[in-house]
């Protein structure tokens, strides 16, 4: 696993990053509107929480009209655990009465890339996660396990007409949980069975 560094290192051709038993690749970064921030001002921090790999993007996204998107692919190393859910988390979301933010995560389940128009290719399943200042929220999703996902995180900052004040988001964090090992499931089943037998013994005279 690579130490934290800036996004410009990740967007270089052919770059890959292994986090636990997952390979992250095909990174790109686009900016629209506002002053934006360059890819060398976005810090990328891989980590491995208990339930699976995570990748965090931190940057001072701030503006009155700004859309920045980070795309990448996460794939399971051959023979390793598949991905069964995804979670989107953000920090530093600041708004005023004059503006708001929306952070979306487009997931193309089963895909290694997006179409030329930024959509999900045929044969993949499209899902969207969202965090917004309006209260709209779908931060996580469970799905049938897959071995690869194309991911697009988009930070959208908007100041309403006549507002004139900036809104901001400071980090976007992606988590991907893995299918438990067969051994772990067996241990869980044994524990449940043991508790059931103990309960029966206590009930029987």
Asked if residue 14 is part of any domain, the answer here is: yes
Contacting residues for 138 by C-beta, under 8 A, at least 6 apart: 128, 129, 130
Question: What is the per-residue pLDDT across 131-163, written as a single tens digit (0 to 9) for each?
Answer: 998 888 999 999 999 999 999 999 988 776 555
Residue 103: pLDDT band by 50, 70, 90 thresholds?
very high
Q: Other CB atoms closer than 10 Å to residue 186's CB: what's the count?
A: 11
User: Which domain covers residue 128, as residue numbers?
Assistant: 5-180
Residue 172 lies in a domain: yes
By percentage, how much of the chain surpasses pLDDT 70? 79
**Does 89 score more than 50 pLDDT?**
yes
Q: What are phi and psi of 113, to 5 degrees?
A: -160, 175
Highest-pLDDT range among 71-75, 93-97, 98-102:
71-75
Residue 41 lies in a domain: yes
Residue 192 lies in a domain: no
Does a structural domain hold residue 195?
no
pLDDT tens track for 38-70: 899 999 999 998 778 999 999 888 776 678 899
Residue 162 lies in a domain: yes
Q: What is the pLDDT of residue 37?
A: 84
The domain total for the chain is: 1
Q: How far apart are CA 101 and CA 134, in angstroms?
A: 8
103 close to 130: Cβ distance less than 8 angstroms: yes
Segment 75-85 mean pLDDT: 93
Say if 198 falls within a structural domain.
no
Q: What is the DSSP letter of 142?
A: E
Specify if 67 maps to a domain. Answer: yes
Per DSSP bridges, beta strands 22-32 and 43-47 are: unpaired
Q: Which CATH number belongs to the domain containing residue 20 in this structure? A: 2.60.120
Q: What are phi and psi of 55, to 5 degrees?
A: -135, 130
Helix (H) or strand (E) holding 168: strand 167-178
């Amino acid at each position: 696993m690579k130490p934290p560094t800036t996004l410009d290192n990740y967007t270089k051709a052919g770059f890959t990053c292994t986090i636990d038993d997952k390979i992250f690749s095909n990174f790109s970064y686009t900016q629209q509107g506002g002053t934006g921030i360059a890819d060398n001002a976005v810090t990328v921090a891989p980590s491995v929480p208990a339930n699976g790999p995570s990748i965090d993007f931190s940057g001072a996204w701030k503006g009155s009209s700004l859309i920045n998107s980070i795309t990448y692919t996460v794939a399971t190393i051959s023979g390793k655990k598949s991905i069964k859910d995804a979670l989107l988390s953000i920090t530093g979301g600041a708004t005023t009465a004059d503006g708001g933010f929306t952070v979306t995560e487009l997931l193309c389940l089963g895909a290694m890339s997006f179409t030329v128009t930024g959509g999900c290719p045929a044969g993949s399943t499209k899902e969207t996660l969202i965090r917004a200042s309006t209260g709209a929220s779908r931060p996580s999703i469970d799905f049938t396990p897959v071995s690869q996902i194309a991911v697009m995180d988009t930070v959208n900052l908007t100041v309403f007409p006549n507002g004139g004040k900036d809104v901001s988001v400071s980090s976007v964090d992606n988590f991907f949980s893995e299918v438990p090992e067969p051994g772990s499931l067996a241990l869980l089943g044994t524990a449940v069975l043991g508790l059931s037998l103990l309960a029966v013994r206590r009930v029987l005279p």
